């Protein structure tokens, strides 16, 4: 069966990553959390005392750092590696959340990450979630989902995630962080957060994860059926050349 690209975009804490992981597991596809990549860049810049407006040093850092994913056999999840070390917990901290949108708006950062993401998905058979997957990274993705949810619901979900990792944060602070990130992500010049014209909207405010996963899988099944019925003809080309 032909493999496709599934692009899941949307706001923070809508369930994108959890849904994308489950969809990938169900299909036997690779899963890439692009948000984790921008968080890794943010962590690297902080640890190397590089200012976010120091463009020459940022460009040098992008050439020096190495970002990859390693599958944890015990948990079954992909964990982000920065320069060969797993940094999954550090990149999820609130201090990174407060700064990642600023870092991801730097054109050089976006260009470097988008190029790497496109290389990762050249062979298709991938589920990728982020902010600009269906619009910039893979505009030819066969299935595009744009996820949203009420900001209060998103904040409460994020609070639970942080608490599970031992980080206690007031829900009001998380709401403020999410609204700030939403604004920065949606108004940046480079690859802003927006719904692709052919993306299906999915509001997860009152949905369980299983329902979200089923929603995406139904769209995938419909697309695969349509492609098979069409004789496997390519849709807008099959690879993004970088």
Question: Binding-site residues for ATP, please?
Answer: 10-18
**Rounded distance between C-alpha atoms, residue 82 and residue 177, angstroms:** 25
68 alpha carbon, distance to own chain's centre: 14
DSSP the chain: ----EEEEEE-TTSSHHHHHHHHHHHHT-EEEEHHHHHHHHHHHHHHTT--TT-HHHHHHHHHH--EEEEE-TTT--EEEEETTEE-HHHHTSHHHHTTHHHHHTSHHHHHHHHHHHHHHTTT--EEEEESSIIIII-TT-SEEEEEE--HHHHHHHHHHHHHHTT----HHHHHHHHHHHHHHHHH-SSS-----TTPEEEE-TT--HHHHHHHHHHHHHHHHHHHHHTTS--SS-S----
| C-alpha dist (Å) from residue 43 to 75, 107, 125, 220 | 23, 17, 29, 35
Give the residue ranges of the annotated binding site.
Answer: 10-18
The angle, 0 to 180 degrees and rounded to 10, between the axes of the packed helices 34-47 and 107-120 is: 140
């Amino acid at each position: 069966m032909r493999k496709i690209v599934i692009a899941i975009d949307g706001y923070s804490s809508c369930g994108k990553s959890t849904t994308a992981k489950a969809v990938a597991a169900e299909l036997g596809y690779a899963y890439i959390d692009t948000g984790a990549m921008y968080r890794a860049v943010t962590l690297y810049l902080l640890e190397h005392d590089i200012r976010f407006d120091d463009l020459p040093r940022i460009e040098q850092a992008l050439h020096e750092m190495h970002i990859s994913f390693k599958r944890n056999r015990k948990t079954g999840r992909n964990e982000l590696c920065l320069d060969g070390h797993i940094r999954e917990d550090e990149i999820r901290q609130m201090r990174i959340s407060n700064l990642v949108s600023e870092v991801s708006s730097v054109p050089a950062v976006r260009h470097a990450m988008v190029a790497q993401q496109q290389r990762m998905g050249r062979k298709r058979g991938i589920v990728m979630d982020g902010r600009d997957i269906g619009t910039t990274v893979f505009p030819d993705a066969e299935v595009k989902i744009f996820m949203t949810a009420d900001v209060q619901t998103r904040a409460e979900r994020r609070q639970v995630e942080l608490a599970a990792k031992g980080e206690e944060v007031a829900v009001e602070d998380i709401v403020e962080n999410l609204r700030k990130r939403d604004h920065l992500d949606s108004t940046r010049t480079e690859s802003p957060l927006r719904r692709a014209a052919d993306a299906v909207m999915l509001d997860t405010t009152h949905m369980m994860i299983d329902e979200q996963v089923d929603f995406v899988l139904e769209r995938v099944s419909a697309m695969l059926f349509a492609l098979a019925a069409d004789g496997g003809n390519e849709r807008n080309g099959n690879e993004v050349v970088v």
